[in-house]
Chain A
Amino acid sequence: MSNTILPFGPQHPVLPEPIHLSLTVEDEVVRQAVPALGYVHRGLEMLTRKKDFHQMIQVVERVCGICSMMHAMCYCRGIETLMDIEVPRRAQFLRVIWSELHRIHSHLLWLGLYADSFGFESVFMQFWKIRERIMDINEATAGNRVIVSVNRVGGVRRDLSPSQCWWIGEQLDEVETELKAIESTMLDNYTVKKRTVGKGVLTKEDAWELGAAGPTLRGSGIARDMRELKYEALDELEFEPVVETGGDAYARGAVRFKETLQSIDLVRRAMARLPGGETAAKVKGKPEGETALRVEQPRGECMYYIKADGSRFLDRLRIRTPTFANIPPLTAMLPGIELADVPVVVLSIDPCISCTER
């Protein structure tokens, strides 16, 4: 049987964002996958020449809608490092709370899309129903549902009152109960396992060699989470990276599910230890020098390189997003699987193409 080349994407019912894969198939089995990107490039990094370093916070938030808080937090941390600003402890805790809320809603969104990719629409709707509570928390505390715009250089722009913390705790209890109710459906169901176990296997060695990041890496048995760098208030909040050893689509799903529960716990503990005091430090002067720093996004490690020359505008801003790191592992996962499993495996890396192309 000769090989056939099938285009997958950029427009495909299962893909939320455009990525093109040229799949070389033999019968129904994928032999090779060649990705092509560049459909949604926006040139956000170039905007550093037009927007000053304060305005760039709102630009980097739009690199990725789902994890906007982490982008802005990483950028602000970079600028604060360059300007030697000490962020108040309360602001550091608030940043952790909002970033973990973003992780929860990103994972819930993905779990829904993932269930939809193998045709489990009712679980898809259940996950999105649960996610709505987190969106409400974002809107009630920060003002917007997704792009919360709470970060500023030197701290945060919003604060949480004790009554809001109490209400968030109540909502998170509900989220946890609802999640636990569908835990067995997602992790211990015959049909779900049939569609995900053993699909798109990425071995531990391959994951390391190809530079996978985030749940894709942890699903292959490597305990590597950038939150272990103890940035912001994470030095006071102990946690263990969630690791699965299967390396398949099921393992990656299980990592995200368990991480959602872990993040709920982190938010609770951060709220319990929330210290008093200011939420933002005074900012004087302009950034100068260069720095590179990393944060853990829902999809994995995100790296920012910032170079400033002491003017209002940054000299250079380079962002490496986790999906960019996860595309080479994706091309290693696809060979050997059947064509019907391609959507599940592609979605299992949680592709965020707008992040990747910026």
Chain B
Amino acid sequence: MIRTVFKNFVSPRATRPYPIEVRPAFEHTRGELENDVSGCTFCGVCAKKCPSACITVNRKEKTWRLDPFSCVYCGICVDACPGECLFHTTDHKKVVLHKIPVVLTKEDPGLEKPEPGPA
């Protein structure tokens, strides 16, 4: 036991002083769901495949609507997207005061999809 006590004095700490030190995200982490609308055709495949029905696409009005609070971060829509414009960032959703859905139209600048890194 004495050995363990002395070992604990010299060993580095097991915890991280969050939020001063934040662990960098892993490359394949499924964080927030984003749509690079410049490549979106509003085909609605993502809405059909989504198991939690958090995406709604209006093909006539060309709007893409996401309820990020219903999203389960499974990544099915990202795999299914024929235009490959859906992607997950590596950041987790921030805390918010009001649950506002994300509505994107063709005119929105949107977020550009990052280039894939080395595997």
Contact between chains at B26 and A140 (CB < 8 Å): yes
- Minimum CB–CB distance from B23 to chain A (whole Å) comes to 9
Interface residues on B, range: 10 to 19
Max chain A C-beta neighbours (<10 A), residue from B14, B50, B75, B88? B75
- Give residues of chain B (14-62) contacting chain A, Cβ–Cβ below 8 Å: 14, 26-30, 49-52
Contact between chains at B76 and A58 (CB < 8 Å): yes
Which residue of A51, A136, A144, A158 is within 8 Å of B51 (Cβ)?
A51
Q: Decide yes or no whether A149 CB sits under 8 A from chain B.
A: yes
Given that A129-B14, A161-B119 are contacting pairs, would A143 and B51 also be in contact in the complex, using a CB cutoff of 8 Å?
Answer: no
- Give residues of chain B (56-99) contacting chain A, Cβ–Cβ below 8 Å: 72-76, 79, 88
Query: What CA separation (Å) do A55 and B49 show in the bound complex?
Result: 7
Write out, one digit per residue, whether chain A residues 108-150 have a CB within 8 A of any chain B CB (1) or not (0): 0000000000000000000001000000100111111001010
Which residue of A54, A62, A129, A157 is within 8 Å of B75 (Cβ)?
A157
Contact between chains at A140 and B28 (CB < 8 Å): yes
Q: Which residues of B contact A149 (CB under 8 A)?
A: 73-76
Contact between chains at A143 and B72 (CB < 8 Å): no
Q: Which residues of B contact A142 (CB under 8 A)?
A: 28
Contact between chains at A58 and B49 (CB < 8 Å): no
Query: What CA separation (Å) do A51 and B26 show in the bound complex?
Result: 31
Query: What CA separation (Å) do A147 and B49 show in the bound complex?
Result: 18
Which residues does A use to contact B, with CB under 8 Å? 51, 54-59, 62, 129, 136, 139-144, 147, 149, 157-158, 161
Which residues does B use to contact A, with CB under 8 Å? 14, 26-30, 49-52, 72-76, 79, 88, 119
Q: Pull 25 A–B residue pairs with CB atoms less than 8 Å apart, ordered by A.
A: A51-B51, A54-B49, A55-B49, A55-B51, A57-B51, A58-B52, A58-B74, A58-B76, A59-B51, A62-B72, A129-B14, A136-B26, A139-B26, A140-B26, A141-B28, A142-B28, A143-B28, A143-B29, A143-B30, A143-B88, A144-B30, A144-B73, A149-B73, A149-B75, A149-B76
